[in-house]
Copies of this chain bind each other. A is one copy, B any other.
Amino acid sequence: MAVGLGPLPTLHPVAGFELGIASAGIKRPGRKDVVVMRCAEGSTVAGVFTLNAFCAAPVILAKQRVQGPVRYLLTNTGNANAGTGEPGLAAASRTCAKLAELTGVDASAVLPYSTGVIGEPLPVEKIEGALQAALDDLSVDNWAAAATGIMTTDTLPKGASRQFQHDGVTITVTGISKGAGMIRPNMATMLGYIATDAKVSREVLQNLLLDGANKSFNRITIDGDTSTNDCCMLIATGQAKLPEITKAEGPLFAALKQAVFEVCMEVAQAIVRDGEGATKFVTVEVNGGATYQECLDVGYTVAHSPLIKTALFASDPNWGRILAAVGRAGVPDLDVSKIDVFLGEVCIASRGARAASYTEAQGAAVMQQEEITIRIELGRGACSETIWTTDLSHEYVKINAEYRT
């Protein structure tokens, strides 16, 4: 059902970043469900994490440990290790300690990531049993296999890659992500791993990831449900023979920033394209706001409205539902007589009422497309925000009503 999402593009290897995949049989025997990533010594690592107060045990550990030197990222699917309290924290620690023991690094250099059902105890022994196989599989060429290995309800793997030249040296940025439901990231996405061989100081790297996530992962929503396990990591291995980037300025930083932002955006949008039951990829653009926040409030209210989402599924240009959502978004002193709404290039509402030029046939033609832009002009100021989302289909209900059965 994925909308406009093809096979994985070429994912260029990143020197100093290896990936290994194995099967622990957490949910189903034989399924690839454990991914180990190794960062070369001296790598800097940045992370953004869910703001959900019920964040999972692995999130708590990874948040602490990302401050120090990082050598391994350990991901499992099939179990989120969330809502598991103290025993969950102990379980996450144990899997990390086991990997540390096998590789001779400090346990604090291993960061855990889990995704899957919330509230079940983590099957520690199964994961531990798969670690050696994952280590034996480590290779810089395993991005595509890892993209598949971190999937849960995703129907397709998600990845993006960019390369650019600087002083005759090729720099690579490659990333993968997973997620299809419980998606309204808040400072991070479901799971995302992006690596580059550039050498970047930790502070610059962290700010780069924050900026990139805010313009990509933090602007997508499928069902408004912020996950307990969202994490996005950016790793700089420093293997490329170029000076370290220690300031957010200059042509090398600018080129890296563009590449990182493009990868963030491509894998973030891929999550929406593969949204549970999605039949449409919807861009909600809000312009003319007095503040960025009111643009976001309007955009998310539209993006989360079940009535708009079902109309999108039905390809029904029921624009009254869009006006109703804008009207309830909580914007103070909203003057509806200044608002215009566009479906694609078609003006459907002008100055708060149906546009004189609008015909149902025009709206229906836009709605038939798989990729639809809803543009709202508030006429209050100069701020803009853009959010990407999906429709709400029968398949969404089916997937989520049957998830645990």
Contacts and interface: CB of A to CB of B under 8 A. Distances in A.
Interface of A: 51-55, 80, 82-88, 117-119, 181-182, 184, 186, 223-228, 304-307, 310-311, 313-314, 316, 318-321, 323-328, 331, 334, 336-337, 349, 351-354, 392-394, 396-398, 400-405
19 contacts: A53-B328, A53-B336, A54-B324, A54-B328, A82-B323, A83-B319, A83-B320, A83-B324, A85-B352, A117-B320, A182-B321, A224-B304, A225-B324, A228-B320, A306-B306, A311-B403, A393-B397, A394-B394, A394-B397
Contacts of A394: 394, 397-398
A320 B30 CA distance: 26
A336 B54 contact: yes
Q: Is the interface of A mostly helix, strand, loop or mixed?
A: loop
A350 to B, nearest CB: 9
A394 B392 CA distance: 10
A391 to B, nearest CB: 9
Contacts of A314: 400-402, 405
A398 B394 CA distance: 8
A22 B396 CA distance: 41
A119 B135 CA distance: 61
Given A85-B353, A306-B223, A397 B401 contact: no
A306 B401 contact: no
B55 A327 contact: yes
Nearest to A308: B225
A227 B320 CA distance: 10
B119 A226 contact: no
